[in-house]
Amino acid sequence: MLRRAKAENKPVMLDVVAAWCGPCKIMDKTTFSDPGVVAWAKKTVIPARVDAEKGEGRRISARYQAFSFPTIVFLDGDGNEIDRLVGGFGAADFQRGAEALLAGRSRFLLALAKLKAAWNAEEAIPVANVLAVRRDLARVRPIALRIVSEEGDLGRPEIFQVFAQLVAIETLDDDYSAETGDLIATFLPKLGNDPRRAFLAAALVTGLGKRGDVATARAVAAETLLAVGESSPYSADVLAALGAAERKAGNGPEALLAFQRAAALAGKNGAAPGSRVERQFDLAEALAASGKSAEAKQAYGAGTAIGPMDTHLASRAARVALALKDPAAAVQHARQAVELSSGEDAGAQGALAAALRATGDRAGSSAALKRAADLDPQNPEYRVAAPEAPKKKAAKAS
């Protein structure tokens, strides 16, 4: 789809639908069957459609946060969103709206262009909110950073919301920017004992850990817990981030201590079930790395017993089971993750590949790894070297 868009220098018109969606069916029978719209689409765009509740459509709808149907998302050749139309449209209104959008004249794109021509923080806030809802990190990041750095007042709820949305998206995408980290470091002391301080601190500690700055990560974690106390709903996240930083730095005992405290606080403070599972799995992996197999199995069992797991948690359970040298359980968890995602999650396929490899199923592992690479070609963990062609035997001299 995207390759064709690039080759033909056309945008993609991605129609996100659901099988039960009445307006989607009406648009199929009217708008998308209209001869004028059909001719326009053939000349102007690369049409595509996904069902948001089936197969790969789940991943794509989540990628563009398209959960109201129908949503028609227009993308450039790199898969970046241009803008979208939401809801049912008659043929004339749809074509008019799509043409205006692709010409940069939609209400949202005009607002974005106005900001580029003449910056106004108050007008930028609603634009940033729209981009955040769409999880459009590339466009929301510079706007949110400018709002926060120039306004300099996280005490205003609307500014804190913009910044918190940016931090949340960077966390979800595992894409931490140095600029965001610098702003968090600047504003943390100003938040005093505000419970929201721990939310921002957890992101900062995670970013510091990825950069290998464990000393600063320790200082931020200690200052935060001193300021907000351990009863904050985000205190466990701060400690878990510190544990990850210590582990990356090769500090096994320190990582184990942080993960133990994080798991205890998650349970004590009534964290969401998914968060409690994560903290138990963190602890199980740290205990296994420390050679404490019995305690690791206990933490793993506590995590799996908390409740139903989503794709991500089932994939993590598979990785933990491998660390505990239980490949059969790892395969069971990984297959559950693949089933939950209808085979469309790279992490689930990667976990399955590792689990099958541990059981000696090389063919199954290779197939799962190839699927993971197809779903996430940028991830080096999933890249499989092409097998070498068999060498031809040298011809015998006659």
Please give the pLDDT value at position 215.
97
pLDDT score recorded for residue 384: 60
Burial of 249 (0-12, 13-18, 19+ CB in 10 A): middle
**358 φ, ψ to 5°?**
-70, -25
Distance CA 154, CA 189 (A): 12
Here the tokens at position 325 are: 């040298």
Please tell me what DSSP assigns to residue 234: T
Query: What is the model's pLDDT at position 5?
Result: 87
pLDDT number for residue 342? 83
| Measured distance CA(13)–CA(98) in Å, rounded | 9
Distance, CA of 318 to CA of 137 (rounded, Å): 30
pLDDT tens track, the chain, 398 positions: 788 988 999 999 999 999 999 999 999 999 999 999 999 999 999 999 999 988 778 889 989 999 999 999 999 999 999 999 999 999 999 999 999 999 999 999 999 999 999 999 999 999 999 999 999 999 999 999 999 999 888 889 999 999 999 999 999 999 999 999 999 999 999 999 998 999 999 999 999 999 999 999 999 999 999 999 998 889 999 999 999 999 999 999 999 999 999 999 999 999 999 999 999 999 999 999 999 999 999 999 999 999 889 999 999 999 999 999 999 999 999 999 999 988 888 999 999 999 999 999 999 999 999 999 988 877 888 876 434 434 444 444 43
| Pairwise CA distance, residues 89 & 27, whole Å | 7
Nearest one of 250, 204, 258, 206 to 230, comparing CA atoms: 258
Q: How many Cβ atoms are within 10 Å of 12's Cβ, its own excluded?
A: 21
The span from the CA of 234 to the CA of 197, in Å, is: 9
Q: Which of 184, 135, 177, 190 is CA-nearest to residue 163? A: 184
Give dist(CA 137, CA 49) in Å, integer.
23
| Block residue for tokens 């102007």 | 44
Q: DSSP label at 70?
A: S
Based on DSSP, count helices (H) and strands (E) in the chain, helices before strands. Answer: 20, 4
Strand partners, 83: 74
| pLDDT for position 374 | 86
